[in-house]
Amino acid sequence: MVFRSSEQLNYEYHKLSEPDAVRLIQLHPSPYLESPLQCELLSTTLTRCYNNLIDKYTALSYVWGDPQLSSKITVDGRTMLITASLASALRHLRDSTRKRIIWADAICINQRDTLERNQQVSQMNSVYFLAHHTIIYLGDSTPATDQILNDLRSRSLILATQRFSKPSAVRDELDKEMERAALESIFSRPWFKRVWVLQELVLSLDPWLQCGTSLARWHDFREYISSTGLAQGMEGARVASEMANLHLEYSKMRHETVHGYMREINPKDIAKQLLEILISRRAFGVQDPRDMIFAHLGLIDKRDPRSVLTVDYVKSKRTIYTQVANYLLDNLYNYSILSLAEGSGERDKDLPSWTPDW
């Protein structure tokens, strides 16, 4: 995705040179929500981030929003245009007294440099994997979301030990209707229908949900909705449950990797995993149809030497979708994906008849 505006962009990026190079935002503090956004861009590498014991960064997961609604941020003394939704996220994440180090794709990646986008998007899985925390910014808060998120956060130590063995821990203090209203407000947010967020959540070590300035750990929120059952019937809750299950699976894999255990590579299993993800996320919100593929490559095992799937924004949608179909056919050893090429609504006529339109 590329952010465009009719106003000239003042900021000029310096080229990244190292293989795992990355930029981080050093966000200036302010006690006032509406004060102008100011930051510096720090050039570093993922290797240095991994070995840095002091200055940890927070990765931001959010919805880009309408590119026509722009806002300004001062970066290294020069003006950059960002979407209004990103500006809102940064204002609400900004500390009142201390600088904060953040990674956000729209600022940290030069969106107008295709080669850089290819390289940076390819390593986004590592960016979220190595982040000390990930903030899932859902947008503005309501009184109900403030109450439920703040209550969950204040009880996080209790919840960590009791694991919601008493579901009334939160419900004693919140009216049931207010709780449901808060959950409906949370699950109706566009974040739950955005393609990129699956990777951003699943690979994160410590994800947090945030509305306005109120936030709570994803783990505590997941335990809460699971134990109370108040979110039953909400579409966003179903999506969140699927994402949560995948997050648990990848958390287990992270633990195994840290302790030196490497699973045996089975190309068929990897292809099956990619197919399941694509089916579950089919028709989710995406501005560039190529991102339906690119957003999920970080979730499959790249150790498969036969995998030819890479992020490349030079290639057309037709080329990428056909390449994915061939990869699945070659590795699944059956023709089941051909049925997915049928009944996919307003199908792109530029695609081969046997290629699914995700």
Q: What is the pLDDT of residues 68-119, one digit of tens each?
A: 888 999 999 999 999 999 999 999 999 999 999 999 999 999 999 999 999 9
Q: What are phi and psi of 323, to 5 degrees?
A: -60, -40
Q: What is the pLDDT of residue 7?
A: 42
pLDDT of 159 above 70: no
pLDDT of 266 above 50: yes
| Alpha-carbon span 143 to 210, nearest angstrom | 13
pLDDT of 8 above 70: no
- Percent of the residues in the chain that have a pLDDT greater than 70, as a whole number: 85
Question: Is the model more confident about 335 or about 124?
Answer: 124
- The continuous run of DSSP H or E covering 251 comes out as helix 235-258
- Lowest-pLDDT range, 40-49, 122-131, 136-145, 250-259? 250-259
Mean pLDDT over residues 206-216, rounded? 96
C-beta separation of 298 from 202 below 8 A = no
| Alpha-carbon span 141 to 147, nearest angstrom | 10
Q: What is the pLDDT of residue 217?
A: 94
Mean pLDDT over residues 53-64, rounded? 94
Per-residue b or e along 131-148, where b marks 16 or more CB atoms closer than 10 Å to that residue's CB: bebbbbbbbebbebbebb
Burial class (CB in 10 A: 0-12, 13-18, 19+), 49: buried
Q: What is the pLDDT of residue 167?
A: 46
Mean pLDDT over residues 312-326, rounded? 95
Work out the mean pLDDT of the chain and round it to a whole number.
86
Q: What is the pLDDT of residue 307?
A: 64
Mean pLDDT over residues 193-208, rounded? 92
pLDDT of 46 above 70: yes
Give the pLDDT band of residue 273 (cuts 50, 70, 90): confident
Give the pLDDT band of residue 50 (cuts 50, 70, 90): very high
- Lowest-pLDDT range, 4-8, 165-169, 249-253? 4-8
Mean pLDDT over residues 53-70, rounded? 91
| Alpha-carbon span 196 to 121, nearest angstrom | 11
Give the pLDDT band of residue 226 (cuts 50, 70, 90): confident
- Percent of the residues in the chain that have a pLDDT greater than 90, as a whole number: 54
| Alpha-carbon span 124 to 346, nearest angstrom | 31
Give the pLDDT band of residue 299 (cuts 50, 70, 90): confident
Give the pLDDT band of residue 323 (cuts 50, 70, 90): very high
24 three-class SS: strand
Burial class (CB in 10 A: 0-12, 13-18, 19+), 339: exposed
200: closest CA among 281, 285, 133?
Answer: 133
Scan for tokens 């900021």, then name that residue. 11
Mean pLDDT over residues 193-202, rounded? 91
Mean pLDDT over residues 131-146, rounded? 95
